[in-house]
Amino acid sequence: MSGNMIYRSKAPLRIGLAGGGTDVSPYSDLYGGVILNATLSLYASATIEPLDKGGIIVEAIDQQQEQQFEWDNKLPVDGTLDLLKGVYNRIQKDYGIPKINFRLSTFVEAPAGSGLGTSSTLVVAIIGAFVEMLRLPMGEYDIAHYAYDIERKDLKLAGGKQDQYAATFGGVNYMEFYGDDNVVVNPLRIKQQYLFELENNLLLYYTATTRESAKIIEKQATNVINKKGDPIEAMHQLKEQARLMKEALLKGKVHDIGSILDYGFQQKRKMAEGISNDLIDEIYETAKTAGATGGKISGAGGGGFMTFYCPGNSKYNVIKKLEKFSGHHVKYQFVKHGLQTWTI
């Protein structure tokens, strides 16, 4: 590693299209989970820049946060920039990082807590930068599982398993989760015209509210542990929704997508308190009245991004009718690539 090298990585954020929440323990351990998601042209990126002096600097550029430390093989996890420090600590422990001064900086192109998998995608990007720098022999499954382990076990953040795999693999994937730790990623080969149609009709709308997904996810997990009938049945239905969505995309039945999303939205609200609220319900009803045939809340719910399926040219009317709320729609494309790393 020479001092003038820069190691970079980027990983795409994702939208869940179906099955959301069935990738969360203990449901996925007990019953198995299924998710269908797709990665977008919005990224989390990480850069490691070796320095002549200055110890270790960690910086989240989008959060305008920075911390500086004397060189150490363990950085304090204290609520600030924990994802950056958590990855460093774990890689230091497992692989050993040479005693060099460096700056680790990150940037995420969507607000934290917005429901596009920002924190897990960021963890994948940070791991990617270290993999690039240290030339670690890690494949896609390895990196995704490592990211999950760091977030859930080392940093004890509640959440599902899908984001780490979406960010690492990229594309449109049908993911199956079995037992404690078995994940199988099935990439879907969807005809380009169907994907273009989905991209054209799917409106990505930011509600301008964020939330702490971990709190909602903890409620959801408690409902499963306490064997609450309605939330568990709702999750069974969301698995069925993922199968329906897979079939619609592969067979080009794009006009069914709105109603499949709508069905999922109704089920998802039964999984835990806080997933929906009055504002979300009002935005949803407004979009449907304006021509959307269905939609969903991204991620754990409670705020962040929503997506709406708008057939024909109805998305322009939906955008117009949603202007009365404080959110805005976001342009995107689907992307086929997952985590990418390079050296300059």
Q: Report the range out of 132-141, 158-167, 225-234, 267-276 with the highest average pLDDT.
A: 132-141
- Cα separation of 19 and 296, whole Å? 11
- Per the residue annotation, which of 163, 230, 278, 281 is the catalytic one? 163
Reply yes or no on whether the pLDDT at 3 is more than 60.
no
What's residue 170's pLDDT?
98
What's residue 161's pLDDT?
87
Lowest mean pLDDT among 229-233, 272-276, 297-301: 272-276
Reply yes or no on whether the pLDDT at 73 is more than 80.
yes
- The correct CATH number of 192-329 out of 3.30.70.890, 3.30.499.10, 2.40.30.30, 3.40.50.300 is 3.30.70.890
Range(s) within the chain of domains with CATH label 3.30.230.10: 7-189+335-343
What's residue 149's pLDDT?
95
The per-residue pLDDT for range 198-225, each reduced to its tens digit, is 999 999 999 876 555 556 556 666 766 7
DSSP structural state of residue 150: I
pLDDT band for position 106 (cuts 50, 70, 90): very high
What's residue 107's pLDDT?
98
Q: Of residues 300 and 84, which shows the higher confidence score?
A: 84
- Cα separation of 258 and 203, whole Å? 11
Active site residue 163: yes
pLDDT band for position 264 (cuts 50, 70, 90): confident
- The correct CATH number of 7-189+335-343 out of 3.60.20.10, 3.40.50.11810, 3.30.230.10, 3.30.70.980 is 3.30.230.10
Q: Report the range out of 140-154, 173-187, 255-269 with the highest average pLDDT.
A: 140-154
Range(s) within the chain of domains with CATH label 3.30.70.890: 192-329
Tell me the average pLDDT of the chain.
90
What's residue 1's pLDDT?
52
Reply yes or no on whether the pLDDT at 235 is more than 90.
no
pLDDT band for position 25 (cuts 50, 70, 90): confident
Return phi, psi of residue 197, to 5°. Answer: -65, -40
What's residue 252's pLDDT?
96
Structure tokens at 321: 């009718």
pLDDT band for position 28 (cuts 50, 70, 90): confident
94-114 average pLDDT score = 92
Q: Which amino acid type is present at position 30? A: L
pTM of the model: 0.90
Question: Which residue from 221, 243, 246, 217 is spatially nearest to 232, judged by alpha carbons?
Answer: 221
Query: In this structure, are residues 19 and 33 in contact, taking their beta carbons and an 8 Å threshold?
Result: yes
